[in-house]
Amino acid sequence: MVTTGLSVVEAARETLAARERGATVVVALLLEGPCAGARRLRIRERSDDRGPRDRSLGELGHPELEEVVDGILDGALDGEPLSARSSEAGTRSVLLPGATNEIPVYLERTRPPSGLLIVGAGHIAEPLHLQGALLGFRVTVADDRPDFVDPGRFPRAQRVVRIDFSDPFHAIEHPDRSHVILVTRGHRYDYECLRRLVVEDPLPEYIGMIGSRRRVRATFHQLLEEGVPRAALERIRAPVGLDLGAETPGEIAVAVAAEWVAITRGGSGRPMVEVERVAERFFPNEADDDRE
């Protein structure tokens, strides 16, 4: 077994540091053979004007093996699933040219947390940012009011930023706003944000806006008047959240977070008691049994 190269501690340290930078990491670990235990990391940094930047760390003890494994790691960085059971981890068998024995390689991908941008730092933003952090988002809170962008009000946020609504996303990188929710104090601020978001390429994965039916209608009408395609408006979740009858800021934050989970996991939003129907399926009514 190899005793040199990238140790498990070094691999973990590099992975955590890369994740904090917003990079994606895939690690390959040789499970058998003379170099069993050797690790190789492939790291893809955030894209810039020149596109994504990839680099490798660690050696596997054989140049041809590293070339084959790098090809697998590059595919994983492009989003290929790593196994039938899990898209983020799995074992592959690698066969080198001229060899007869396959080498099992364990693969694991670590993605950076998705960015959640909360625009508006009012009373709903406080519980909302906590829900976002609990769900693993990298949270940014933004507002134009100096008294509201107080980091002490948002202890779980990665950043609290003062913005100008004439160009609200100037200082916020796209990965930090892959998910955007608008909880601003007025219709015109929602409009200024949405008119920029709906023309971005690529579009954010999620765009949500809190507001009454009247407020949403007025914002959509103004966007349509400006020529924004109806299909773009259909990407906006407004009013946002599941219908839980929420009224307080905390309840509203839970309703919004529940929608995030439902979208990510493909849930229906129905009560689990209705989905599983345990009493009905496994404990039939005795009166029904007597009639049979």
Inside any domain, residue 74: yes
- Are 54 and 81 within one domain? yes
Quick one: 98 and 135 in the same domain? no
Amino acid 172 reads I
Concatenating the DSSP letter of every residue in 86-113 gives -SSEEEEEE--TT--S-EEEEEEEEPPP
**144 and 122, same structural domain?**
yes
Beta carbons of 30 and 105 less than 8 angstroms apart: yes
Determine, yes or no, domain membership for 187.
Answer: yes
What's the CATH code of the domain at 200?
3.40.50.720
Structural domain boundaries, residue 136: 115-265
Residue-level pLDDT at 176: 87
pTM over 0.95: no
How many C-beta atoms lie closer than 10 Å to residue 31's C-beta? 12
Q: Given 89, 110, 131, which residue is the final one in a domain?
A: 110
Residues 12 and 150 in one domain: no
Close Cβ partners of 66 (under 8 Å, ≥ 6 residues apart): 40, 56, 59, 60
Residues 41 and 101 in one domain: yes
Same structural domain, 242 and 216? yes
Query: 21 with 93, same domain?
Result: yes
Would you give per-residue pLDDT tens digits along the chain (292 residues)? 444 578 899 999 999 998 888 889 999 999 988 888 999 999 998 765 555 688 889 998 888 888 989 999 999 998 888 887 778 899 998 887 777 788 899 999 998 889 999 999 999 999 999 999 999 999 999 999 999 999 999 999 999 999 999 999 998 988 889 999 999 998 899 999 999 999 888 889 999 999 888 999 999 999 999 999 898 889 999 999 999 999 999 999 999 999 999 988 888 988 888 888 888 888 877 655 555 5
Do the domain assignments include residue 250?
A: yes
Type of residue found at 128: L
Q: What is the pLDDT of residue 291?
A: 55
| pLDDT of the residue at 97 | 72
- On whether residue 59 sits in a domain, the answer given is yes
Q: Are residues 192 and 61 in the same domain?
A: no
Final residue of a structural domain among 110, 129, 152:
110
Q: Are residues 234 and 142 in the same domain?
A: yes
**Burial tier of 89 (Cβ tally within 10 Å: 0-12, 13-18, 19+):** middle
Rounded-to-integer distance, Cα 42 and Cα 55, Å: 6
Last residue of a domain, one of 52, 78, 110: 110
In this prediction, residue 31 carries a pLDDT of 92
37 and 149 co-located in one domain: no
Residue 292 lies in a domain: no
Count: domains in the chain: 2
281 falls within a domain: no
What's the pLDDT at 2? Answer: 42
Task: Look at residue 64 and tell me if it is in a domain.
Answer: yes
Could you tell me if 103 and 132 lie in one domain?
no
In a domain, residue 282? The reply is: no
User: Quick one: 19 and 155 in the same domain?
Assistant: no
